[in-house]
Amino acid sequence: MAKKTVGVLGLGVFGSTIAKKLGENDFDVITVDLNMGAVERIAPYVTQSVQGDMGDLELLKSIGFDNCDIAVIASGSNLESSVLAAMNCKKLNIEHVIAKAKNKVFKEILIEMGVDEVVRPEKEMGDRVARNLMRNHIRDVFDLDDEFAVIEFFPPKNWLGKTLQELDLRREYEINVVGVRQGLNEKMTVNVDPNMIVTKDTILIALGESEKFEHFDYTHQLK
């Protein structure tokens, strides 16, 4: 498989982190920022680091930005700059464009501009921290889409000594158990026996609606 080329427009903390991580893992990375200091700091990690305006289409053409498979517009605080950058990426026929947005309005505008994926890192990090604080039994959540997730969780005390069949989790909590670990460092088995007895070492892996199950956990409704 051919190595992807990624363009990063904007070298604040968000953009620099992405560019450095990709560069350290042998991706071809092209970066652009107005700040010469930021350009020089990231230069050792990337293929090409250029001082300039991301809204300057001719500049982007001159540095081969049209060769990028993916573009990340990382300057989410200035809407005009982000919109111009999105327009330029579309004119250069970049296959996948990701943009940072500082609020919901920015996100909606960028989506209207044809940006493929819009992220709000501060909000998403805040949500993640809040979710971690609220968890009682959930160990991790792996989102599959906006609705469904694979959820790894410890069983409540009242479940211990009962079989999965007795607990009837599909009816009670609308989840399907798809795997089990008997200890944190043990391998997961996907051959789940409905007559398996849940113990204090059991970790359950289930498929379900993440918001619904997380709400059960946060509000102490797992009984």
Residues 187, 180: Cα–Cα separation, whole Å: 8
**pTM for the full predicted model:** 0.70
Residues 89, 98: Cα–Cα separation, whole Å: 10
Report whether 98 contacts 119 (CB < 8 A): yes
pLDDT at residue 11 tops 90: yes
Residues 32, 164: Cα–Cα separation, whole Å: 55
Q: Give the pLDDT score at 127.
A: 80
Q: pLDDT tens across 162-201, in order?
A: 999 999 999 999 999 999 999 988 999 999 999 999 999 9
Domains present along the chain, CATH in parentheses: 5-121 (3.40.50.720), 133-218 (3.30.70.1450)
Tokens found for residue 61: 């053409």
pLDDT at residue 1 tops 60: no
179 Cβ neighbours under 8 A, 6+ residues apart: 188, 189, 190, 192, 204, 205
Q: Quickly count: other Cβ atoms within 10 Å of residue 161's Cβ.
A: 11
Task: Report CA torsion sign: 101, 83, 109, 27.
Answer: negative
Q: Quickly count: other Cβ atoms within 10 Å of residue 32's Cβ.
A: 26
Q: Give the pLDDT score at 3.
A: 75
Q: pLDDT tens across 52-105, in order?
A: 999 999 999 999 999 999 999 998 778 889 999 999 999 999 999 999 998 889
Question: Which among 82, 72, 144 has a CA at the least distance from the CA of 107?
Answer: 82
Q: Give the pLDDT score at 70.
A: 94
Torsion angles phi and psi, residue 44, rounded to 5: -65, -15
Q: pLDDT tens across 110-151, in order?
A: 999 899 999 988 878 788 888 888 899 999 998 888 789 999
